[in-house]
Structure formats: structure tokens, C-alpha cells
Amino acid sequence: MIGLGISGCSAARLLAESGYTVTCFESESYIGGSLFEEVRPNGIRVQSFGPQVFHTDSEAVFQFIKRFGAFFPYNHRVYLSIQNKMVPLPLNANSLQMIFGNKQADTLLARISSAFPGIKRVSVDRLMNSHDSKLLDLGRFMLENILTRDINRKDDNSFVPADDSFSNDAYVDIGNDDCYYTDSIQAMPMQGFMSILEHMIDHQAISVFLNTNALSRISIHQDNTTVLFDGVPFKGPIIYTPSLDKLFHYCYGSLPYRKGRISFQDIRTDFQNDCAVILTPKNKEVIRITESKYMTLQDIDGHTSLMYEAPYVSASKGNGEPFEPVINEESKKMYEKYEELAKACPSIHLLGRMACYRNQSISDSIEQAIDVVSRL
């Protein structure tokens, strides 16, 4: 198992329970990947790489993750900072009233309902393709004021971000639903994600090597099909979760990724903001502020911690560990060439957000791990 984020930890556990002996290599001094958490001096647990919420429509995925720790029901709330106001995001009836006034909001809501009957959340893609000039204007307003960041789209003709943590920014809810996600199960782990992952890999058939760059132990033989482990051909399954370009020494170039820059501030007050996340898309220094205490249910009076995310910067070979694939036609083509090289090595199995070069949620990662392991 190469890499111990949620994908690697889930697959390691499933393999161990299927009777495999699993050896895991993680290049960092900690497990967790993008789900890594740390505890601030004031005791508040924060997610080091950005806010992450567990949400799924899959009962099977929830049953799996719940085996490793208790969860509490959690409805994630995000506000947009706009025109000196804080309005619910995705925009809903309340947000439209606060931004445009009651009369204009009522007109917009009526027009949305008549143009898209039966749809509760209407995407900016639909608004931008509408023949109603008022809805087209609303779509443009959202592009100019909300979707300003350099983030992945579902495809070239879509304005809806593919990335889980920003995807719902691009919708209008025609009611007053102010929950960010719409999945039937939305929850957070009582003791945090790290505790869940530690329990996952706590199995007698799993051994873990931290601070170990797997590529110092594993290489591809010059026949391009055999994987060598410490120089000796290895026939067992190797599940690979980091970015694929480095496995093949960047032979087709470096896949583009983004990474975030995060800073924290501890404040002596119970709560500083009115909800877990505030989006500030027009700000050039900070795009998102997260107050972790809303997401951890920790009972710590008189203290809170804020997480500030700077606009994402590009990350590739030699430029730190990335977390978000920059998906476009060019990068997809480059990735496909690497994927062909991986397919030629029967013992390599790709898993997770980095290795598969796509955006996926925590739930998707677990679902994919179940699938990959079941096919071995």
C-alpha cells in the first residue's frame, strides 16, 4: 500500500480483512493525507489542509467508516461574504432577498421555478444556458461574485466546480435550505478523522512505515511491466495512491496540481463567526475562513481557532505535495499516457484522488477502495 490517506487506509484494512498481509509506506511522518488534523495549543482540533465534511448517499460506505469510531449528525453551513453582508451559500431564497431585495428575489425565484420545474437546486450551468435574460444575469452575477477562484470545472463547458469542497457554491436553492450538502448522510467523527484512520490501520496484518518514500523501495523494471521491490521482482498487488507522474519519473512531464496555503489564528472567545465556513471570493489574500469548533463539537469555553486559506497556487514536481488536480484537456491527455504505463504493470492498482487524477469525496474514496480490493 503506497500512501495512507483515506483511500490507502481503507484499502489496507479491507485487504487485511481479506487475509492479505499488508505493508504500507507513507512518505510523511503522519498518516491521513489531505484529511490530516492537528490540535491547536487551545485544544481545538483543526483540519490542516482545509475543511472536510463526511457526506454520502451510500449506507454501505457509512457502515464501513462507522466501524472505526462514532459519528455525530452534522449539517455543514457556509456563508458568502458579499456587499458587507453574510448570506447563505449555496444561494437560497433568503440570500437572494438579502442581496437583491424582496421584490427582485421573488421575481427571480418565480422565474427559476417556472424555467426548471421540480428542481430544488439549480446550477449556474443551467442559468447560463437559459433563454430568460434575468436568469442569465443571475448566472453572470454568480460567476463574477462567487465562482471567481481558479478551480476545476466539471468540464470545459461547465461552470460548476468539480472539487467537492467548492462544488455547491455554483447552485441556487429555490427554498430556504441552508445546508451546504444535500446527501442523505452528513456527519462528522466525534474524535476526528485521524482517530478513524488510526483505528482503520490498527490490525495485526498491517505494518506501517512512515517517513518512507515508497519510490525508494519500489521501481519499474526496464521491461516496463515488472515491479521491483528492493530490486527484486514483486508479484503481489501494489495499491498506489500518490500522483502517477512520479512513479514514472515524469517521463511525459509533470502533471499540474494545486495546493493551498493555510494559516491559523487562535482567539479568546467562544465563537468568532456565525457558521463553520465563510467564503470571501473577492478577497485576494484569503478565499475561505473556517471556524473548526463548529465542526468538532468540542466543549471548550472561551477559545476558538480560525483557519485562513490563501488562493491556491500551482504545485508540481519538486514544488511540495499537491492536493488538487488541475484538470483540463492537456493534463487529461498527459494523465492518460501515464495511465497506459501503469496498465502495462499488472501488479499496480491505482486508487484515490492523486493516482486517478480526479476530484473525489471521502465517500467516493472509500467506495473506490472497496471496489479495487474486491477486484484483486
Ligand X SMILES: Cc1cc2nc3c(=O)[nH]c(=O)nc-3n(C[C@H](O)[C@H](O)[C@H](O)COP(=O)(O)OP(=O)(O)OC[C@H]3O[C@@H](n4cnc5c(N)ncnc54)[C@H](O)[C@@H]3O)c2cc1C
325 binds ligand X (CB under 6 A): no
User: Partners of 46 in the beta sheet?
Assistant: 38
Site for ligand X (CB under 6 A): how many residues? 38
User: Closest approach of Cβ 326 to ligand X, in Å?
Assistant: 13
Closer residue to ligand X, CB minimum distance, 4 or 196: 4
Contacting ligand X within 241-260 (CB under 6 A): 241-242
Contacting ligand X within 211-230 (CB under 6 A): 213-215
Closer residue to ligand X, CB minimum distance, 98 or 287: 287
- For residue 90, is the peptide bond before it cis, meaning its omega torsion is within 30 degrees of 0? yes
Contacting ligand X within 36-75 (CB under 6 A): 49-53, 55
Could you give the string, one character per residue 296-315, with x where binding to ligand X holds by CB under 6 A and - elsewhere? Answer: --------------------
CA–CA separation, 218 and 243 (whole Å) = 15
User: Closest approach of Cβ 61 to ligand X, in Å?
Assistant: 10
Could you give the string, one character per residue 263-302, with x where binding to ligand X holds by CB under 6 A and - elsewhere? Answer: ----------------------------------------
362 binds ligand X (CB under 6 A): yes
360 binds ligand X (CB under 6 A): yes
Q: Applying CB under 6 A, which part among 63-71, 208-216, 265-273, 295-303 lies near ligand X?
A: 208-216
Cβ atoms of residues 322 and 316 within 8 Å = yes
Q: Applying CB under 6 A, which part among 129-137, 138-146, 268-276, 346-354 lies near ligand X?
A: 346-354
Q: Length of the chain in residues, anyone? A: 376
Residues in the site for ligand X, rule: CB under 6 A? 2-8, 25-28, 33-35, 49-53, 55, 164-165, 213-215, 241-242, 321, 323-324, 352-354, 360-363, 365
